[in-house]
Amino acid sequence: MTPPRIYKNYIDGEWVESASGQAFENVNPAHRGELLGLFQKSDSRDVENAVAAAKQAYPSWRLMPAPKRGEILYRAARLLLERKETFAEQMTREMGKILDETRGDVQEAIDMTFYMAGEGRRQFGQTTPSELQSKFCLTVRSPIGICGLITPWNFPMAIPSWKIMPALICGNTVVIKPATDTPLSAYNLVEVLEEAGIPRGVVNYVAGSGGSVGTPLMNHRDVRVVSFTGSTAVGREVSQSVVASFKHVCLEMGGKNVMIVMDDANLDLAVDGALWGSFGTTGQRCTATSRIVVHKKVYHDFIGKFVDRARALRVGDGLDPSVQMGPLINEGQLRTVEEYVVIGKQEAAHLLSGGGRLTGGAYDEGFFYAPTIFGDCAPTMRIVQEEIFGPVVAVIPADSLDQAIEIGNSVVYGLSSSIYTRNVNHAFRAMRDMETGIVYVNAPTIGAETHLPFGGTKQTGNGHREASTAALDFYSEWKSIYVDFSDKLQRAQID
């Protein structure tokens, strides 16, 4: 047998082994016997080396003109575009979602990289009149320093690009720790940046666990910025850990996203959206449609169509073009889904489809679970309130738009929401009253685009946004500049 490829860390412009000399396996969740490669089992020593490299590279990188930094990102975007199909296939093998979705994941990285390349010429500040004569006022963006980036497994190239590209275009240097389930996709992204000409030390990649790499990275004295995407429980730990050092922290965490289907909705369109929102990426999205509130007048019609479509979904290896839903990421996530299905049954929710692990034949090789729908759910049930992160959706009947919005807002999260309606008044009320960072009209709760801010309210985040120009506000600081050319002392608010 051919020995597995060994992937190294990227520190100070070199591909190097971890200080421990140990490695961990990256396996295909659809075929557990398929080993994609060995990645470095790093620890605090590797983090120390990566941060030192980023620190050394920062003075020269911050002084490189932003348009020149943008040219490097532009070259990286072109390389990503050329290798899109290869990277998508590797991503499907790495984390399971179907090829159409992994192509979209890589495309999002392409879009983000092109977008931030353009921001090299668009980091606009303000000029404004002074209250005093012969005095000029303006604002400019300034980089912050070293950024520690901790990314999840469900969008293993897109989300690293959300963090790396705005950090770089603002003049920061970065150390990224990818998820241990999906280190290859982030590796590919960093390799592309190296080929595009990123100077040594500006981008560093350290693989390993959260405890061994993530914790020392976010707590390092020289790391000024921490960006974390993951669960609310871990995000809370990140926030509490770094609060004493006053680091800039962006937390992108959980969601329990609601789709509202009104009695005047196009039901076939709503079912299309429910199917894609609930079972795309096997429900493993922070924006997944995990709750559907349906007006009682169309509840039974909607349920009938939705259940029939869910039962017909083809589940299997994401490399098979006929497959519509892939496996869960690992055994732990599968067990979590199983536990919540048991909870749903105990809560007396009606199991309408799915509800079990798929077994037999090729299913035994991976972490496959049937698309699962619970009906007649109460808003207070745990399966309605808590994030499951799997192919499980709860359907709740409602009497009115007011009740639907109340149910939608009754969870601790506030990431994404949607409404299906032909009534413009209903649509605008939902846009105004839903307590979420993202609202869709006649579309599911998934489908964010890179040029709009991404993030949520309540326990979904801490107020920052990723993507678009909003990301620049996190990865830079405003500097206000006053130029007095009066040749005399002038006192603001006094003279």
* Digit-coded pLDDT (tens) for 432-476: 999 999 999 999 999 999 999 999 999 999 999 999 999 999 999
Question: pLDDT per residue over 272-288, tens digit each?
Answer: 999 999 999 999 999 99
Contact 391, 274 (CB under 8 A): no
Instruction: State the Cα angle at 60 between 55 and 65, rounded to 5°.
Output: 130
| Rounded Cα distance, 357 and 103, in Å | 27
Whether residue 144 contacts residue 476, with contact meaning beta carbons closer than 8 Å, is answered with yes
CA-to-CA separations, 397 to 123, 293, 428, 440, in angstroms, rounded: 47, 6, 21, 20
- For the stretch 64-108, pLDDT in tens is 999 999 999 999 999 999 999 999 999 999 999 999 999 999 999
Active site residue 377: no
Average of per-residue pLDDT across 145-162: 98
The predicted-structure confidence for 213-252, as pLDDT tens digits, reads as follows 999 999 999 999 999 999 999 999 999 999 899 999 999 9
Taking residues 155-164, report their average pLDDT.
98
pTM for the predicted model, two decimal places: 0.97
Q: Is 446 in contact with 416 (CB distance < 8 Å)?
A: yes
- pLDDT, tens digit, for every residue of 19-59? 999 999 999 999 999 999 999 999 999 999 999 999 999 99
Which residue in 94, 101, 252, 466 is the catalytic one?
252
394 pLDDT above the threshold of 70: yes
Q: How far is CA 317 from CA 97, 391, 481, in A?
A: 8, 16, 57
Do 6-253+461-480 and 257-441 come out as alike in CATH topology? no
pLDDT score of 78:
98
3-state secondary structure the chain: CCCCCEECEEECCEEECCCCCCEEEEEECCEEEEEEEEEECCCHHHHHHHHHHHHHHHHHHHHCCHHHHHHHHHHHHHHHHHCHHHHHHHHHHHHCCCHHHHHHHHHHHHHHHHHHHHHHHCCCCCEEECCCCCEEEEEEEECCCEEEEECCCCCCCHHHHHHHHHHHHCCCEEEEECCCCCHHHHHHHHHHHHHHCCCCCCEEECCCCHHHHHHHHHHCCCEEEEEEECCHHHHHHHHHHHHHHCCEEEEECCCCEEEEECCCCCHHHHHHHHHHHHHHHHHCCCCCEEEEEEECCCHHHHHHHHHHHHHHCCECCCCCCCCCECCCCCHHHHHHHHHHHHHHHHCCCEEEECCCECCCHHHHHCCCECCEEEECCCCCCHHHHCCCCCCEEEEEEECCHHHHHHHHCCCCEECEEEEECCCHHHHHHHHHHCCCCEEEECCCCCCCCCCCCECCEECCECCCCECCCHHHHHHCEEEEEEEECCCCCCCCCCC
Judge contact between 206 and 220, C-beta under 8 A.
Answer: no
Cα separation, 52 vs 54, in Å, equals 5
Q: How confident is the model at residue 1 (pLDDT cuts 50, 70, 90)?
A: low
For the residues 129-150, what does the mean pLDDT come to? 98
Contact 71, 113 (CB under 8 A): no
Q: Which fold has domain 257-441?
A: Aldehyde Dehydrogenase; Chain A, domain 2 (3.40.309)
Please say whether the beta carbons of 287 and 452 come within 8 A.
no
Give per-residue pLDDT as tens, 276-322.
Answer: 999 999 999 999 999 999 999 999 999 999 999 999 999 999 999 99
Strands 135-142 and 477-484, sheet pairing: antiparallel
CATH homologous superfamily for 6-253+461-480? Answer: Aldehyde Dehydrogenase; Chain A, domain 1 (3.40.605.10)
Distance CA 470, CA 456 (A): 13
Q: Considering only CA atoms, which of 63, 66, 58, 76 is closest in space to residue 202?
A: 58
> Do 8 and 40 touch, CB atoms closer than 8 A?
yes
Residue 257 has pLDDT above 80, yes or no: yes
Q: What is the mean pLDDT of residues 416-435?
A: 98
Burial zone of 272 (CB within 10 Å; 0-12 exposed, 13-18 middle, 19+ buried): middle
Amino acid type, 486: S
The residue whose two tokens read 């959706």 is 393
Q: What are phi and psi of 208, to 5 degrees?
A: 150, 180
Question: Annotated catalytic residue: which of 108, 286, 377, 466?
Answer: 286
d(C-alpha 378, C-alpha 349), whole Å: 8
| Average confidence (pLDDT) over 346-367 | 97
Per the listing, tokens 């730990």 go with: 237
Phi, psi torsion values for 323, nearest 5 degrees: -80, 140
Nearest to residue 370, comparing CAs of 286, 432, 279, 249? 279
What are the structure tokens assigned to 392, written together? 């499980």
- Examine the residue annotation and report whether 286 is marked as an active-site residue of this protein: yes
pLDDT band at 2 (very low <50, low <70, confident <90, very high): confident
From residue 410, give the alpha-carbon distance in Å to each of 98, 363, 403, 406, 435.
33, 37, 10, 6, 9
Predicted local confidence at residue 133, as pLDDT: 96
Domain borders along the chain are 6-253+461-480, 257-441
